[in-house]
Amino acid sequence: MCGIVGYIGKNQALPILLDGLKRLEYRGYDSAGIAVFDQGKINCVKAVGKIKELENKLAGKQFDGNIGIAHTRWATHGEPNEINAHPHADCAGKIFVVHNGIVENYRELKKQLIEEGHKFKSETDTEVIVHLVEKFYQGNLTLALQSALKLVKGAYGLALIHEDEPQKLVAARHGSPLLIGLGEGETIVASDVSAIIRHTKQVIYLDDGEIAEINGDGFKIVNLNLETVSKDVKEVEWDYSQAEKQGFSHFMLKEIFEQGESIKNSIRGRRIVEDGKAKLGGLETINDRLREIKKIIIVACGTARHAGLIGEYMLEEYAGIPVEVEYASEFRYRKPVLDQSTAILAISQSGETADTLAAVKEAKEKGVLALGIVNAVGSTIARETDAGVYNHIGPEISVASTKAFTSQLAILALFTVLLGRQREMSVITGKRILEELELLPEKIKMILDQNEKIKSLAEKYRDAKHFLYLGRKYNKAVASEGALKLKEISYVHAEGMPSGEMKHGTIALVDKDFPSIFIAPTDSVYEKNLSNMEEIKARGGQMVVIATEGNEEIKNITNDVIYIPKTLEMLTPILANIPLQLFAYHMATQRGCDVDKPRNLAKSVTVE
C-alpha cells in the first residue's frame, strides 16, 4: 500500500522524487524517506508523518545528484517511526531499498542473516531484502538482487540503488504494482502512474517476477532467471490536471463534484439506444461465452463490493442471472463451488487490491471466466482478468472512494443490459435503462446544488456519536456505503443495514441521541420504508431522509429531507449515494479530520 518512486535522468533527482511522493501520498502517509546521490555518496533522509514533515527536514538542503529513490509508508511491520521508515540500508550504508508489499518469510531470513553477522536496525520485513542483496553483491546490483529475490517469499514492488554503481537503478516486482515511465532523458519508476504523468505518458508495466535495470543509456528487463523480457510501451490516458485539486479544498470534494462528468465518460460510446443494447468493447471477444453464463460471482472489497451488491439486484431482476457477491478476502477460503458456466466479476477502482486479485487468480486456476470492472488502466487486475470494462473516470486520489462507486454502478447497469438483451430483456426495457443513464449527469447536478443544505445538516448532527443507515432493495447497499463513508473519514461509528432488519435487534440502540439516515426514494419498497421510519420516530429517534423530489408526505416524518430526482429504481443508488458522500465529507471537515488521508487507511490495499 506504500508509494514508491525512483528517478534516474538528466535532472536533479530530489525535487522530482518529492513531487512524486506527494502524488503518491494517498497510498500511505505515516512516514516517508528518500535516498539520493550527492556527489558520489548516497544521502538518506527520513521523517515520521506526512510528506510535509520530510520536506521540512530537507529544507535548505541541496543534493547534487540525478539518481534517487523515495517512499511513503503505510506500516505493516513495525510502528511508524524514523527507523522503520524506508529507504533501508545494508550494514555498510551503501545499498538502499524502498519496498511495497510484505516479505512473508522475513523472520527466518532475518534470523539467518543475523547469524551470518548482518546488523539490523529496523523492525521491518523490508530490511532483509537489502541485507540479502549485500550478501550476494559481487559488483553487480542486478545479479545480487536476482539472487536475493529467489529467497524471498511474499509480495514486493521495490527499487534499489548502490553507492558503488552510481549510474544504475534497479527495480523489481512480484505482487505489488510497479511501472517505469520513459521520459526524455529520464526514467521514473513508480508504484502508480500518478507519480509520473507530469513527466511522461509512456509507461511499461512490470509483471510479476521481472527485474528492471535502468541506467543513463536505457533499460533492460529480465526475469528471475535473467532471461531478457521484451515489453510493450503503453500510453497513459490520464492528464496531469486530473491529478490536481483544481481549486477544491480536498480531492474527495473534487471527485464528488466530478460525478456528472465521470458518469458521462463511463457510458460514452457504450449505448446503442435504438436497439436497446450495450456495447462494451472489452467484452466483445467473449460475447458467446457470456451467453452461456448461468451464474456470476462478484468479488470485491469495501466500496467496490457495495457496488457489486447493487449489481446483484440489477442482474437478477433484469438479466435473470443468479448472482452471489462475496468479500474478495473470503472468496478463496470458502472453497467456492465453481463450474464452467460460472463467471467471476472482480470490481476494483485501483485494480491492485490484493484480496480481489487473489480471488481472480483463484477463479482462473479453477478455469472459470474472470471478468473485471476496473478504473486503473494497465493495473494488475485489469491484466489478470480474461476480459473487462474500464471506468474511464481518471485517477481517484482521495482514499474515500466516490466517483468510482457511481461509475461502477453505471457500468453494472450497462453490463445488465448487455447480458439481459442476450437473454429475455425486451428492446423497450433495454432502451429505457440506456435513456435513463444518459439523464443522470443532469440529475446529479441537481443534487450537488444542495451542497450547502447538506453541509448545514452535517453541522446539526456533527456531535452524534453513532448513526444507523437504512435502506431497502437497491438502496440496502447504499445504506452500507453511506455508513462506510462516514466511518472512514469522520471516525464516527455508523452501521448500514436493510431497513427491515433493523427491528430484529438494532432498534434497541435507537433513542434521541442515535440518529438514522434513511434512503427512501419513491420506489417499490417506499411504503415499507415508511413503516420503518414510523417505528424509529415512535422511539424518539431523529432522522435524515433521502427522498424523491415532490414527496411532501415525508415532512410528517422529519424536516431533515434531502431530495433526489426521480429515476429508474435500479439507478436510484447512483443518485441516493451522492448526498451521503457530501454528508460524510462535511461531517469530517467539521470534526477537523484529514478528509483525503484518513488515519490508518491507504488508498489501495495491496496486502492481505
Contact 345, 360 (CB under 8 A): no
CB of 485 to ligand AGP, least distance (A): 6
Under the binding rule (CB under 6 A), the answer on residue 348 touching ligand AGP is yes
For the record, the C-alpha cell of 107 comes out as: 523472520
Residues 385-404 that bind ligand AGP (CB under 6 A): 399-401
CB of 5 to ligand AGP, least distance (A): 20
CB of 305 to ligand AGP, least distance (A): 7
Residue 350 touches ligand AGP, criterion: CB under 6 A: yes
**Nearest to ligand AGP of 100, 303 (CB atom):** 303
**Interface with ligand AGP (CB under 6 A), residue from 101, 183, 260, 302:** 302
Peptide bond into 573 cis (omega under 30): no
356 is an interface residue for ligand AGP by CB under 6 A: yes
Rg (CA), the chain: 25
Please confirm, yes or no, whether 2 is among the known catalytic residues: yes
Pick the catalytic residue from 2, 301, 403, 593: 2
Q: Per rule CB under 6 A, is residue 310 in the interface with ligand AGP? A: no
CB of residue 402 vs ligand AGP: minimum separation in angstroms?
A: 8
Q: Which three cell numbers stand for residue 163?
A: 553507492
Q: What's the residue count for the chain?
A: 608
Of 434 and 484, which has the nearer Cβ to ligand AGP? 484
Choose the binding region for ligand AGP from 44-52, 238-246, 262-270, 344-352 (rule: CB under 6 A).
Answer: 344-352
Q: Please tell me whether residue 192 binds ligand AGP under the rule CB under 6 A.
A: no
Minimum distance, C-beta of residue 303 to ligand AGP, in the bound complex (Å): 3
User: Quick check: 27 and 72 in contact, CB under 8 A?
Assistant: yes
**Closest CB to ligand AGP among residues 351, 498:** 351
Residue closest to 192 by CA, chosen among 398, 27, 324: 27
Q: Rule CB under 6 A: say whether 301 interacts with ligand AGP.
A: yes
Question: Per CB under 6 A, does 490 bind ligand AGP?
Answer: no
Q: Is 566 a catalytic residue?
A: no
Give the list of residues 6+ apart from residue 102 with CB closer than 8 angstroms, or none. Answer: 76, 77, 125, 154, 155, 607, 608
DSSP line for 390-424: E-------SSS--HHHHHHHHHHHHHHHHHHHHTT
Contact 17, 70 (CB under 8 A): yes
Nearer to ligand AGP, 188 or 301 (CB): 301
Chain centre to alpha carbon of residue 189: 20
d(CA 37, CA 64): 7
- What is the rounded CA–CA span in Å between residue 320 and residue 258? 33
Q: Does 595 participate in binding ligand AGP (rule CB under 6 A)?
A: no
580 interacts with ligand AGP by CB under 6 A: no
Q: In 243-386, where do the E strands start and end?
A: 271-272, 277-278, 295-300, 323-327, 342-348, 369-374
Among residues 196, 304, 458, 562, which is the contact residue for ligand AGP, using CB under 6 A?
Answer: 304
Instruction: Give Cβ neighbours of residue 597 (< 8 Å, ≥ 6 apart).
Output: 25, 26, 29, 50, 399
Number of H helices, E strands in the chain: 18, 26
Binding residue for ligand AGP, selected from 84, 353, 380, 516, defined by CB under 6 A: 353
Residues assigned a catalytic role: 2, 603
Footprint of ligand AGP on this chain (CB under 6 A)?
A: 301-304, 348-350, 353, 356, 399-401, 488, 604-605
